[in-house]
Amino acid sequence: MNKLSCIFNWSGGKDSSLALYHCLQNPELDIKYLVTSINDIVNRISMHGVRYALLKQQAASIGIPLYEIRLPEMPTMSAYDDTMRLHLDKLKGEGITHSIFGDIFLEDLKKYREDRLAEVGLKGIFPIWKRNTQELITEFLDLGFKTVIACTQERLGEFVGKVIDEQLINDLPEDVDVCGENGEFHTFAFEGPIFNHPINFILGEKVFKSYQAPKNADDNCFQKDDEQPKNLGFWYVDLIAQ
């Protein structure tokens, strides 16, 4: 059987972990790399803020080579697209035909990914697409995965640094998706069936950061077209490798 030669877009969090788990059960997929974008200024996973050292430990525990895409701290969308296109062209030259994502229900994001892949002749795979998020988080926990909340929106700061369990899920505000699919929070997975051994860490400093949303609609990642640019606040906890 000819397998599909794939890259897996690895964020380090729970959705990536569950999507990767399902892909590893699929004999038709051959995952060559875990692809992660890294903030080159602070040497941390983009958006999630997790240290590079922990990302490296995840990849080593999973046993799939890590492919790093280094980015400036706040790239414009055009700069981001150009950088990604260069790397995707390189990966296509190595025989990659498909790119796998852990997205669940953001239609615009899925279309964006598929359009960018089509520009270089690749196809997308979305193994947990359109699944109910309550079912997904239940499956995630039932499989023995463990994950800690590494970053939250400003209003959810009380949850940063906490390990997700049934009680935490019940404590989330009603308007928060239990998988954080609307960007409410991001996680770091440290134990589960895709890992050969747990990733050990301790909680460090808790930090609040505020970012200015882009004024140019072409660089708009945060607000709707009819909204005025505004500051966006996020809580981060520093996860320190042990």
Q: What is the pLDDT of residues 90-149, one digit of tens each?
A: 999 999 999 999 999 999 999 999 999 999 999 999 999 999 999 999 999 999 999 999
- Beta-carbon contacts of residue 182 (< 8 Å; ≥ 6 apart): 106, 176
Q: Above 70 in pLDDT, residue 31?
A: yes
Would you state the pLDDT for residue 222? 34
Answering whether pTM is above 0.75, one says: yes
Which has more pLDDT, 221 or 60?
60
Would you state the pLDDT for residue 201? 98
Would you state the pLDDT for residue 221? 34
Mean predicted confidence (pLDDT) in 159-163:
98
> Where along the chain do its domains lie?
4-125, 143-241
Q: What is the pLDDT of residues 40-54, one digit of tens each?
A: 999 999 989 999 999
Does domain 4-125 fall under CATH 3.30.450.70? My reply is no
Structure tokens at 46: 């983009």
Q: How confident is the model at residue 230 (pLDDT cuts 50, 70, 90)?
A: low
Q: What percent of the chain has pLDDT over 70?
A: 92
Buried b (16+ CB within 10 A) or exposed e, 109-143: ebeebbebbeebebebbbbbbebebeebbebbbee
**Angle at 190 (CA atoms; ends 186, 192), nearest 5 degrees:** 115
Give the range among 17-31, 119-133, 175-189, 217-231 with minimum mean pLDDT. Answer: 217-231
